[in-house]
Structure 1
């Protein structure tokens, strides 16, 4: 991971345009290629970002622009760009974090995954399970399954569905769809409750949202011959 604190302005050019005027900000460049721009507020949420797969190249400043030291252009496969114009560097360091073990789910979230895997047709008639915790280079997909037409489907499960969960599933889908043995891979974002912003983002990215009823799923458990 590379951490850069710099005076910069950021312009997003793609399906829409967005501009961040010159200010001191943190630029996070991760090993998966993602780039995000942060201010010293808004908790963990970036001001703007580019999800992988994307590529960063450095361009020289335009002629006659003396107050810009460097221009970083981050572009994804759709041709969308983040153009980061840097007027001055305050900090620049790189750190090797190693392999992350991933998020340890709480009891309810882990149980939701187990129940949904056991009753995969909750997602639709004809769905079949491939496996739980399908490992990828960037972490495990909660559930990998097939729909009634045989298409591969990746499922991300949360107790509360928020934007970061949609981003996580998007990263998995970008990676999985490069694997010709299982592509094309569709996405399902499943949670007990899904925030409107997360649903809007998921729909925009072609990801289906499913609201899970935990109590109903628990009611499908087979308790016969169990002591506890």
Structure 2
């Protein structure tokens, strides 16, 4: 991984155009070839980025990142304040707790809980930033990405949003919608999800694993 802190301007040229004026920013170049531009806010979300496969060409005061579609990220560097490279090695990946892992398995087996006619494409569908818990097709054949949590919080919605941004760039998948599924979903997370067009689904863990039968309840 290469970390460069520099005063730079950034221009994106592709399906649309975007411009970031000259300012100090962090440029992050990962081993997978991705390049992202960060400010000192917005948490983990970059100001702009290019996902692999892409090619980085470094010239005199200018970086050009281009993908197969011909889209370009042009970074004009005025001054380099820091430049370092680090070997991180293979990451072991996120280890879900037992309940989340079991919820994923159960929902994959009971995919109809996501809606009538839904079919499973794959569990742990890979993306450049990590696997989506489930990728399914709805009754109309459209792809749906599902993020599963024990407790649904804002971080989980942000995680699913990042997956959707990448998946919706894949022409083979077409338009991909999102479902945020959890045993309980906090009001703030639900509001954010709905604002982004992400559907929320509350999962009953006991019912899904056959421990609780709702038809036998008195109340």
Match of 2:202 in 1: 213
* Residue of structure 2 aligned with 1:88, choices 76, 79, 83: 79
2-structure distance, mates of 1:26, 1:38: 5
**1:49 corresponds to 2:49:** yes
Displacement after TM superposition at 1:166 (Å): 2.5
Match of 1:37 in 2: 37
SS in 1 for 2:104: helix
Displacement after TM superposition at 1:11 (Å): 1.6
1-structure distance, mates of 2:25, 2:165: 25
**Residues 106-128 of structure 1: CA deviation (Å, up to 9, x unaligned):** 56644542332131012333333
* Residue of structure 1 aligned with 2:66, choices 65, 75, 96: 75
* Residue of structure 2 aligned with 1:105, choices 89, 96, 101: 96
Displacement after TM superposition at 1:15 (Å): 3.8
Match of 1:223 in 2: 211
Match of 1:17 in 2: 17
Displacement after TM superposition at 1:211 (Å): 1.6
- Change in Cα spacing, 1:47 to 1:136, as seen in structure 2 (3 Å) is closer
Contact 2:145/2:179 (8 A) holds in 1: no
Structure 1 residues not aligned, in runs of 5+:
60-68, 201-208
2-structure distance, mates of 1:12, 1:152: 28
Contact 2:2/2:85 (8 A) holds in 1: yes
Q: How does 1:129-148 map to 2 (within 5 A)?
A: 129=120, 131-133=122-124, 139-145=130-136, 147=138
2-structure distance, mates of 1:171, 1:86: 27
Match of 1:166 in 2: 161
Contact 2:127/2:166 (8 A) holds in 1: no
- Greater CA drift, 32-41 or 105-114: 105-114
Displacement after TM superposition at 1:27 (Å): 0.3
2-structure distance, mates of 1:106, 1:112: 10
Displacement after TM superposition at 1:28 (Å): 0.2
Question: Cα RMSD between the aligned structures?
Answer: 3.6
- Change in Cα spacing, 1:18 to 1:116, as seen in structure 2 (3 Å) is same
**Residues 82-108 of structure 1: CA deviation (Å, up to 9, x unaligned):** 210012222222222122122233566
2-structure distance, mates of 1:198, 1:101: 33
Instruction: Output the TM-score relative to the length of structure 1.
Output: 0.67
